[in-house]
Structure formats: structure tokens, C-alpha cells
């Protein structure tokens, strides 16, 4: 009896050995971390392009890679029946990097670097963070409302849709329409500069936080 009690206590105690968290990762979690790594690689490439190196196209290429990993991690988790709270949090944090911060950095590096542009890009990232936070707290309630126990729709556009913005920037970079040659030029509003192309980031962010827009989840 005493031995079984000790065994139960040992099983319930958290594993505090070295690298226990890493050893506890499931296969899907590694794909999620690859998503985050692609996002950070995109940020670094965007920063390198600001230093004069032609890395902007490379930066845009990392975002589709992140998207592939983002799709695969969910499928692998369901296939292996290894969904976890840690995996869900990792997924949200990785998405903030790859589909929030990285696209904003790419837009800035492409030439949307006026003060008004920076405000809009900051708004876009904040919308993405808010959208993921809302999904995390409402997904369980939406699952209960569903007949099949799964979330049937997204409230607002999912943050990975920012890959479309990155696609536009990639076309601009490919055709040499970045920096001072950016489409639609620039306008001065007060003491600060605004590039009208940055409006696509404002629109994307606003659609993410919409409560009335419902996107069916495939």
C-alpha cells in the first residue's frame, strides 16, 4: 500500500530534470517551433535588407514556409492524437511572430517606413495579437456550441491570411517597386509620411478583429 502511494506521488510530481520540457514536446510542437523559426528568419532577412543587402525577397519566401509548418502541426497533432494546452499556446505565439510581426517588418523594409506607416503596422500587429487571444478564450465555447465538438468557423479572418500581404510585397520587390518606387507613392500628412499601400495592413488587421465576419473553418 505504501509503495503504491509513493508511486502515485512520483507520477503526479512535475518532471524537473534537465531539458524535461524539450523532451516533453510532441512531433507537432517541433513543427510549430519551425513555424516560429521561419518567422524570425523573415524578420532577420527584412532587417538585412534595410542594411542595404537584397534580402527582401528571401524574407517574403520564409512566410509561405511558416504557413506550411502551421498547417502541418495541427494535422500531425490530430493524426497522432497528441493535442495539448502547451501545443495550443506554442501555436498562437508562433503565429504572432510569423504572421504578425514578420509581415509588419517586411512591409517596413519594403518602404512603408514613415511614422504614419509605423503606426498602421503597429496597429496590424496588435490586431493579430488580439485576434489570437480572443480565439484562445472563445474556441472552447464555440466547440461546445457545435454539433461535432469542433470550431466550425473563425470570428474574423485568421492571422495566417497576412500571407496575402506578403505576396503583394513580394511582387513589389520582384518588380523593383520598393523604397521610393513603392506603388501609390507617398503623401505628407502633417509632419509625417504615409505610404497609401500600407492601408492593406490596416484593412487586414481590422478584418482579423471583426466580430461579425465569420469564416468557415475547413
In a domain, 44, yes or no: yes
In a domain, 16, yes or no: no
Matching residue, cell 513603392: 182
- Domain tally, the chain: 1
Question: Could you tell me the CATH number of the domain that includes residue 35?
Answer: 1.20.120.1760
Q: How far apart are CA 105 and CA 112, in angstroms?
A: 9
The pLDDT value recorded for residue 23 is 62
- CB contact at 8 A, 100 and 125: yes
The pLDDT value recorded for residue 79 is 76
Cα 198 to chain centroid distance, Å, stands at: 18
Q: How far apart are CA 81 and CA 144, in angstroms?
A: 19
Which residue range is the domain that position 91 belongs to? Answer: 27-216
In a domain, 58, yes or no: yes
In a domain, 60, yes or no: yes
Q: How far apart are CA 119 and CA 129, in angstroms?
A: 15
- CB contact at 8 A, 117 and 189: no
The pLDDT value recorded for residue 147 is 55
pTM: 0.83
The pLDDT value recorded for residue 10 is 44
The pLDDT value recorded for residue 90 is 87
Q: How far apart are CA 125 and CA 201, in angstroms?
A: 9
Taking the chain (218 residues) in runs of 10, the rounded mean pLDDT of each run is: 48 54 73 92 92 83 95 79 74 94 97 96 97 82 57 82 97 93 94 97 96 79
The pLDDT value recorded for residue 8 is 44
In a domain, 94, yes or no: yes
Q: How far apart are CA 35 and CA 82, in angstroms?
A: 18
In a domain, 211, yes or no: yes
Q: Where are the beta strands (DSSP E) in the chain?
A: 153-155, 187-189, 192-194, 214-216
> Which residues on adjacent β-strands are paired with residue 155?
214
In a domain, 3, yes or no: no
Q: Could you say which DSSP state residue 52 is in?
A: T
In a domain, 12, yes or no: no
Amino acid at each position: 500500500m505504501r509503495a503504491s502511494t509513493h508511486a502515485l506521488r512520483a507520477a503526479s510530481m512535475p518532471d524537473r530534470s534537465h531539458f524535461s520540457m524539450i523532451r516533453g514536446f510532441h512531433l507537432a510542437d517541433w513543427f510549430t517551433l519551425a513555424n516560429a523559426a521561419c518567422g524570425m528568419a523573415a524578420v532577420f532577412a527584412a532587417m538585412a535588407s534595410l542594411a542595404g543587402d537584397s534580402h527582401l525577397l528571401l524574407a517574403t519566401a520564409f512566410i509561405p514556409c511558416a504557413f506550411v509548418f502551421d498547417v502541418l502541426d495541427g494535422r500531425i497533432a490530430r493524426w497522432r492524437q497528441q493535442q495539448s494546452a502547451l501545443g495550443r499556446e506554442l501555436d498562437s505565439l508562433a503565429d504572432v511572430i510569423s504572421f504578425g510581426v514578420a509581415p509588419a517588418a517586411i512591409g517596413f523594409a519594403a518602404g512603408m517606413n514613415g511614422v504614419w506607416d509605423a503606426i498602421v503596422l503597429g496597429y496590424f500587429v496588435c490586431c493579430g495579437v488580439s485576434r489570437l487571444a480572443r480565439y484562445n478564450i472563445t474556441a472552447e465555447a464555440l466547440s461546445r456550441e457545435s454539433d461535432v465538438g469542433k470550431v466550425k468557423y473563425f470570428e474574423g479572418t485568421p492571422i495566417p491570411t497576412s500571407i496575402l500581404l506578403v505576396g503583394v510585397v513580394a511582387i513589389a520587390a520582384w518588380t523593383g517597386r520598393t523604397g521610393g518606387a513603392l506603388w501609390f507613392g507617398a503623401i505628407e500628412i502633417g509632419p509625417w509620411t504615409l505610404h497609401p499601400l500600407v492601408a492593406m495592413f490596416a484593412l487586414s488587421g481590422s478584418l482579423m478583429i471583426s466580430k461579425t465576419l465569420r469564416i468557415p473553418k475547413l
